[in-house]
Structure formats: C-alpha cells, structure tokens
Structure 1
Amino acid sequence: MPDLSHGTPDDAAAVNALRSSVMRLSRRLKHQRVDESLSPTEMSVLGTLSLCGSATPGELARKEHVQPPSMTRIVALLEAKGLVRLEPHPDDRRQKVVSPTERAETMLDESRRKRNAWLAALAEGLDEDEWARLRAAAPVLEKLAHL
C-alpha cells in the first residue's frame, strides 16, 4: 500500500484534486433532494437504515459518526415526521430499535432516482474514454468511502 503522506508532488496534487472534486460533487448531489424539509444528516440516517437495516440509536451514532445525544435528537425528529418507528429491543428492554417506515423507503427511492438521473445527465458530457475510466474508478471510490 502506498504511503501518500510522504509521496511525490504528483501524489499530493492527485489527493488534493480528489478531495476537492469529491467534496464539490457531493455538495451538488445534496441539492438534488426530493424532500427539502430534511437535513442532509437526516437523509444520511435514513439511507444508513435502508442499507444496513434496523439499528439502535447508539449503533446509528457510530455509523454516522455523531454523538449519541445528537442521534437521539435526529431519531426523534424523524419519528415525528413519520419516517422511522421505534420498537423495543428484543434482548435489552432499555434499548429501542429504529426502523425506516414505508414512507421513508419510498422517499429514499425517489431521491436515489432523482440523483442518479442528475448524475447520468452529467455523465452524458463525458467522452467514451472518460466514461470508461469513471466506471473503473467507481469500485475504488466505493472502497475509499467505506474504509
């Protein structure tokens, strides 16, 4: 594995360009929301529940890299909006399990379709070689996102 902390100037430039472009693209994708009343954090929590399944607020806090009291507030807001339901934990009565509602799943599906369509429209501006390189880079970016 390369040690980029002491890499060449080209490596440093590549890391800088990657950071900048990923952040810019992420910000632009965040604006392609179906429901503007939800914060990006609320959308992220719903996405995590959709992908990973039901979880306790503590598990969600770890996955989302927020403090447990913050997650408790986020879950309460999502519950008030009818987007999650809280159920007793099967093994620990002191805990609750958070699950997305059908309404949340429908909203997430719509949001994914809208964002995918927006990104596909952008990709139409790429030539065949650029599109091939982007397809090849997608698994690497996915890996970075989950390290």
Structure 2
Amino acid sequence: MDDAPDNHLASVLAQDLRACLGKLKRRLREQAHSGDLTPSQTSVLLRLEKDGPATASQLARAEAMRPQSMASVVAALEALNLVSGAPHPTDGRQTLLSLTDSCRQRLREGRAARQDWLTRIIQTRLSRQEQAELATSVALLKRLIDD
C-alpha cells in the first residue's frame, strides 16, 4: 500500500473539516445564548478572562484594534455590566478593566450549556461504535493542532 500523501485527498479533507468545524462552532455559539454580543466584545471578554485585568490600550494592542474602536467595545461591555473599571494601581490616569461577577457567571453558564448540548447530541445521534470512532477522530484532530 502506498503511504505517499494524496494532495487532492488532503485538500478535500481540509475543506470539509473547515466547513464542518465552522458549522459546529456556530451551533455551539447558539447554545450559549450569548445574546447580542459582537465577535469583538466576546473576544475582549475571553481575553480578560484568560489574561486578567487590562487597560483599554492594552486590550486594543492585543486585539489589533484602534484605541477608539476599543473604547466603544469597552463602553458597550460596561453598559451590559460585563466589565468594570478600577483605577490603575500605578498610573492613576488609566483604568484597569476586569470581568464582573455576573460576567464570570454568564461565561460559566454558557460553557455548561454548550457542553450539555454537545454531550446530548453525541449520546442521542451516535451509536457506541460511532462514539468510539469520534474519539479516534478527536485524537487525530489533536495531533493536527498540537505542536
């Protein structure tokens, strides 16, 4: 058997995989009931959750946004009580932004909703054999993304 890579097959697999994962991502996003948050707002929330408190200028750099654009994102998140500001401990001219407790709860609930939905779909739509095949496929996907 020839183990040489099949460029056409790899290309078709890549296209199908991107389309499938994109659709899965959209379905998972629907389950989280994230409301009317824009992708930029969601990205800022996830960055604050991962990296901790930051100034608007730090967020703008990290998100490759203009400071004016970040200011409108932050204002919207503050209006929704998802982020709050406190004086920067070493630079009183700046505000340190962090997630509110209600935002942290919302993120936890969103993740739980996505996990529950995906677990239920796997259990109800796939046989035990198919679940085992999916486990093998997930292992292969991990190999694609791990360094």
TM-score by length of 1: 0.76
Which of 1 and 2 has greater Rg? Answer: 2
Q: Quick one: distance in 2 between partners of 1:137 and 1:62?
A: 34
| Residue 87, structure 1, aligned to residue 86, structure 2 | yes
CA contact (8 A) 2:84 2:99 kept: yes
The alpha-carbon distance between structure 1 residues 9 and 71, as it changes in their structure 2 partners (threshold 3 A), is same
Residue number in structure 1 paired with 2:135: 132
Residue number in structure 2 paired with 1:70: 69
Residue 50 of structure 1 deviates from its aligned partner by 1.7
Q: Quick one: distance in 2 between partners of 1:17 and 1:68?
A: 37
Q: Quick one: distance in 2 between partners of 1:49 and 1:128?
A: 35
Aligned-pair identity in percent equals: 36
Q: Quick one: distance in 2 between partners of 1:141 and 1:85?
A: 38
Q: Which runs of structure 2 are paired with 1:1-147 in the superposition (5 Å)?
A: 8-124=7-123, 125-126=125-126, 127-137=130-140, 139-140=142-143, 143=146
CA contact (8 A) 2:83 2:98 kept: yes
The alpha-carbon distance between structure 1 residues 29 and 67, as it changes in their structure 2 partners (threshold 3 A), is farther
Measured on the aligned residues, the alpha-carbon RMSD in Å equals: 2.6
CA contact (8 A) 1:30 1:40 kept: no
CA contact (8 A) 1:34 1:107 kept: no
Query: SS state of the match for residue 34, structure 1?
Result: coil
Query: SS state of the match for residue 93, structure 2?
Result: coil
Q: Quick one: distance in 2 between partners of 1:131 and 1:92?
A: 51
Q: Quick one: distance in 2 between partners of 1:69 and 1:142?
A: 34
Q: Which deviates the most, 47-56 or 99-108? A: 47-56
For structure 2, the 5+ residue unaligned runs are: 1-5
**How many residues are treated as equivalent by the alignment?**
138
